Amino acid sequence: MTTEATEGKVYSVNGGDWDEVVSEVRDTEEERLVVNMGPQHPSTHGVLRLILTLDGETVTEARSAIGYLHTGIEKNMEYRTWTQGVTFVTRMDYLSPIFNETAYCLAVEKLLGITDRIPERASAIRVMMMELTRISSHLVAMGTFGMELGATTPFLFGYRDREMVMDLMEYITGLRMNMAYIRPGGVSVDLPAGTVDKVGEFLKEMPKRIKDIRKLLDANPVYLRRTQDVAYLDLTGCIALGVTGPILRAAGLPWDLRKSQPYCGYETYEFEVPTQTSCDVYGRYLVRMAEMEESLKIIEQALDRIAGPLKNQPVMIEDKKIGWPAQLALGPDGFGNSPDHIAHIMGSSMEALIHHFKLVTEGFRVPAGQAYAAIESPRGELGAHVVSDGGTRPYRVHFRDPSFTNLQSFPAMAEGGQVADVIAAVASIDPVMGGVDR
């Protein structure tokens, strides 16, 4: 179907009308072609719409349209308690929920002034959970990456291996994703019995699995041709566009907040910050693969502490005004329950009952002010800007999501390149639309 618009003639392809479109296009003088890619397209990682202006096979102009997954999470949080906020932020970047929760909780804890009083065991659990999530997030990134470039096996491998992390998450938190596990003051429940063994098995198995993906892609000639020198973005471009994470490290700068501005005790763990200097898609792939291997090292160290010196330590701050009852266990009815805690609040301590009731209904008050907490998520700097007016609910929460910022660099990577390289560029940014649109 053809319609006249201010931009010129618009040809709509509706399916089954190919002959008609071709015969109409054949007669035009116009060489410029504007293609809408998305908002539903398998290789755009969700509802991302790309608007490409093509001259033959060359992309002369690339723009991205976002907002299709905007759910108003930041606004919603203004009408929930500080603790309930965790349940909202975890849904932002759904491939790395633990990171959203941690960034938010670190900001709230900064506002409360309790950063130094978070139990060490809780911090170690947070670190372990974050690094597990980093692995699962990178596995999805690399798996879909392979599939988008035409290789199905890395996708199957990536998702199969991610399932191991998902199983661990389910075992520890009760949910595969959106688990709201990290809470202001610590974590929601202690690790269930057997976690150390299960994570230990995972640590034994995972290096082999990473090696499998590396065998498929590291030196695969097709993959190399599709990724090397594609979607080039150098250090200057990265900094100007605010790009952080693996893309920045693939441009040669070892900037990792875990090293440079440590939180949750990352300064006490031994690990390397992998970098590449190729500034291209292949470099970003290598950085992510190496990061997974480093994450395994961190998990091992965290697990040693959790099973050793930090055994039987509390996982929630010992402050009755803030600390959520965190000693729940799975009851026979399938819900989290704690007979000891219930006996305590119902049988022996009126004050404990009042605290429990106030915490659950009203929540705690956070002194007025603002704080910014930044952590290194799988995609770069994830920052939470949290403002309090002294009440029981956040006054304003803003997430500086790395996907959102990194996606801005897509035109810089794709313009002047081939259409096929657009897919590689977007895949190497690894945007998660839940985080972009919030």
118 interacts with another protein by CB under 8 A: no
Rounded CA gap, 235 and 233, in Å? 7
Among 51, 114, 253, 352, binds another protein (CB under 8 A): 253
Tokens of 209: 């699995």
CA–chain centroid gap for 304, Å, is: 25
Q: Say which residues have a Cβ less than 8 Å from residue 409's Cβ, sequence separation at least 6.
A: 233, 237, 238, 241, 243, 247, 429
Q: Say which residues have a Cβ less than 8 Å from residue 21's Cβ, sequence separation at least 6.
A: 11, 13
Using alpha carbons, list the distances in angstroms from residue 207 to 237, 272, 282, 289, 346.
Answer: 34, 16, 21, 11, 49
The owner of tokens 């965790």 is 86
> What's the alpha-carbon Rg for the chain, to the nearest Å?
24
Question: Considering the complex, what minimum distance in angstroms separates the CB of residue 395 from another protein?
Answer: 8
39 interacts with another protein by CB under 8 A: no
Rounded CA gap, 136 and 172, in Å? 15
- Whether the bond between 154 and the residue before it is cis, its omega within 30 degrees of 0, is no
36 interacts with another protein by CB under 8 A: no
For another protein, give the closer residue by CB, 79 or 335.
Answer: 79
383 interacts with another protein by CB under 8 A: yes
Q: Alpha helices, DSSP H only, in 218-326?
A: 221-227, 235-240, 246-249, 257-260, 281-307
For another protein, give the closer residue by CB, 111 or 292.
Answer: 111
Residues in contact with another protein, counted by CB under 8 A, come to a total of: 51
Binding marks (x or -) toward another protein, 200..239, rule CB under 8 A?
---------------------------------------x
Q: Which stretch binds another protein (CB under 8 A): 64-72, 139-147, 324-332, 413-421?
A: 64-72
For another protein, give the closer residue by CB, 282 or 364.
Answer: 364
Question: Considering the complex, what minimum distance in angstroms separates the CB of residue 392 from another protein?
Answer: 5
For residue 81, give the 3-state DSSP assignment: coil
Rounded CA gap, 257 and 412, in Å? 25
Q: How many other C-beta atoms lie within 10 A of the C-beta of residue 205? A: 11
108 interacts with another protein by CB under 8 A: no
For another protein, give the closer residue by CB, 198 or 396.
Answer: 396
Residue 344 DSSP code? I
Among 59, 95, 111, 135, binds another protein (CB under 8 A): 111
404 interacts with another protein by CB under 8 A: yes
Question: Considering the complex, what minimum distance in angstroms separates the CB of residue 7 from another protein?
Answer: 16
49 interacts with another protein by CB under 8 A: no
Q: Which stretch binds another protein (CB under 8 A): 8-16, 203-211, 292-300, 363-371?
A: 363-371
Question: Considering the complex, what minimum distance in angstroms separates the CB of residue 426 from another protein?
Answer: 16
Residues 148-187 that bind another protein (CB under 8 A): none
260 interacts with another protein by CB under 8 A: yes
Rounded CA gap, 126 and 109, in Å? 14
Apex 93 CA angle, 92 and 98, nearest 5: 95
For residue 243, give the 3-state DSSP assignment: coil
Question: Considering the complex, what minimum distance in angstroms separates the CB of residue 359 from another protein?
Answer: 12
- Percentages of the chain per state (helix, strand, coil), in multiples of 5: 50, 15, 35
306 interacts with another protein by CB under 8 A: no
Binding marks (x or -) toward another protein, 311..350, rule CB under 8 A?
----------------------------------------
408 interacts with another protein by CB under 8 A: yes
Nearest Cα residue to 126 out of 250, 259, 293, 310? 310
Q: How many other C-beta atoms lie within 10 A of the C-beta of residue 329? A: 14
Among 8, 113, 192, 309, binds another protein (CB under 8 A): 113
Residues that bind another protein (CB under 8 A): 66-67, 70, 72, 74-75, 79, 110-111, 113, 239-244, 253, 255, 260-261, 361-363, 365-372, 374, 381, 383, 385, 387, 389-393, 395-396, 398, 400, 404-405, 407-408, 437-438
